[in-house]
């Protein structure tokens, strides 16, 4: 009886997670959501595997940001469910979830009077206890995150003194400081110069290849999405319009059907991935 009770307690404890890295899978199944009666997502299926970058593309209002909010448990879907590592998202404790899933929101609001360093250190919050303060290990991790995002030289500057692109990179550094297994990015390359865009995306690609990170990113730039993603999901009016390898999703007919724009799609001279050009 005692052993059964112990097993039951382990089963019911929300914070107990012990899965091998191969099983880290973020899955959305038939997710539907409506804002005040206006349907935004209708039956969206999605899965992100470790070592994979999934890109979400689609016109404005297609429900992309809402999808990220549902995947990070800020909103709960009206229908359908989301599971992480095989367990339903609602059964995860908030701290445990934050140790495994990090979100880089679009245009994140940051306090103007904190330094970039302090903001990146906030990424270590899920690892600090109730009365805990940051240890040297936490600081070393935060420093490495800032070095990788090329924001270390901004460490002692106030957020109010940083440009939009620098703030964006600080938020990415904070997400990396969380040491997540799954990274959700909402338009990570907005406000960034081309060199910083490529830097951030190359960094993410390297983390995915080397550490088996799973990444889901929303892109507004179709060419960047095609270059860096293993799989693309094209959303149109809350539904998945097309899914697959970038070459299969970004086609002239798909773009015309979803965006209503006439474009030319050419293979990239280096790797054959689709490149969208206005026609």
Partner 1 sequence: MTHESENRRISKSGFTLHASRFTFAPYWSRKRYLVLLLGAVALVMIVALGAAWGSLAIPPLAVARMLLGQLPWVAVSRDWPATWETVLLQVRLPRVVLAGLVGAALALAGAVYQGLFRNPLADPYLIGVSSGAGLGATLAIYFTVQVTWAGLGAISIFAFFGALLTTAIIYALARVGGKTPITTLLLAGVALGAFLSSITTYLMLSGKDAFHTFHVVSWMMGSLALANWQQVRVLMPYLLVGLAIILVNARPLNVLQLDEEQAQQLGLNVERIKLVLVVAASLITASAVAVSGIIGFVGLIVPHAVRLVWGPDHRFLLPMTTLVGAVFLILADGVARTLLSPSELPVGVITAFCGAPFFLYLLRQKKQAIF
Count of residues for the chain?
279
Q: Does 152 bind partner 1 (CB under 8 A)?
A: yes
Nearest to 159 by CA among 173, 147, 138, 145: 173
Give the dihedral sign, CA 78/79/82/87: positive
* Shortest distance in whole angstroms from residue 71 CB to partner 1: 11
**186 vs 231, beta carbon nearer partner 1:** 186
Residues 92-131: x where in contact with partner 1 by CB under 8 A, - otherwise, as a string: --xxxxxx--xx-x--xxxxxxx--xxx--xx-xx-x-xx
Residues 65-94: x where in contact with partner 1 by CB under 8 A, - otherwise, as a string: ----x--x-x-------------------x
Joined tokens for residue 168? 């964006």
Q: Does 178 bind partner 1 (CB under 8 A)?
A: yes
Query: Residues near 224 by Cβ (< 8 Å), separated by ≥ 6?
Result: 189, 197, 201
Q: Does 136 bind partner 1 (CB under 8 A)?
A: yes
* Shortest distance in whole angstroms from residue 161 CB to partner 1: 9
Q: Does 143 bind partner 1 (CB under 8 A)?
A: yes
Element (H, E) at 267: strand 263-267
Joined tokens for residue 12? 């019911």
Virtual torsion, Cα 8, 9, 12, 18, nearest 10 deg: -100
For partner 1, the binding residues (CB under 8 A) are: 69, 72, 74, 94-99, 102-103, 105, 108-114, 117-119, 122-123, 125-126, 128, 130-131, 133-136, 139-140, 143, 147, 152-153, 155-156, 158, 160, 178
């Amino acid at each position: 009886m005692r052993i059964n009770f112990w097993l039951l307690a382990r089963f019911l404890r929300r914070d107990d997670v012990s899965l091998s890295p191969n099983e880290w899978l973020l899955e959305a199944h038939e997710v539907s959501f409506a804002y005040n009666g206006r349907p935004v997502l209708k039956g969206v299926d999605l899965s992100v595997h470790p070592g994979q970058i999934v890109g979400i593309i689609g016109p404005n209002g297609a429900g992309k940001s809402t999808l990220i909010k549902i995947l990070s448990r800020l909103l709960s879907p009206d229908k359908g469910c989301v599971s992480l590592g095989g367990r339903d998202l609602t059964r995860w404790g908030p701290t445990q979830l934050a140790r495994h899933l990090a979100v880089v929101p679009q245009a994140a609001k940051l306090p103007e009077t904190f330094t970039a360093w302090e903001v990146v250190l906030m990424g270590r919050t899920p690892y600090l206890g109730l009365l805990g303060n940051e240890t040297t290990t936490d600081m070393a991790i935060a420093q490495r995150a800032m070095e990788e995002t090329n924001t270390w030289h901004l460490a002692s500057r106030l957020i109010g003194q940083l440009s939009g692109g620098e703030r964006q990179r600080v938020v990415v550094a904070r997400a990396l400081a969380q040491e997540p297994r799954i990274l959700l990015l909402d338009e990570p390359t907005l406000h960034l110069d081309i060199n910083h865009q490529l830097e951030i995306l190359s960094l993410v690609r390297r983390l995915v290849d080397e550490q088996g990170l799973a990444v889901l990113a929303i892109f507004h730039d179709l060419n960047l999405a095609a270059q860096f993603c293993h799989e693309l999901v094209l959303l149109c009016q809350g539904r998945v319009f097309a899914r697959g390898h970038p070459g299969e999703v970004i086609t002239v007919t798909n773009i015309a059907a979803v965006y209503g724009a006439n474009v030319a799609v050419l293979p990239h001279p280096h790797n054959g991935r689709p490149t969208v050009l206005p026609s």
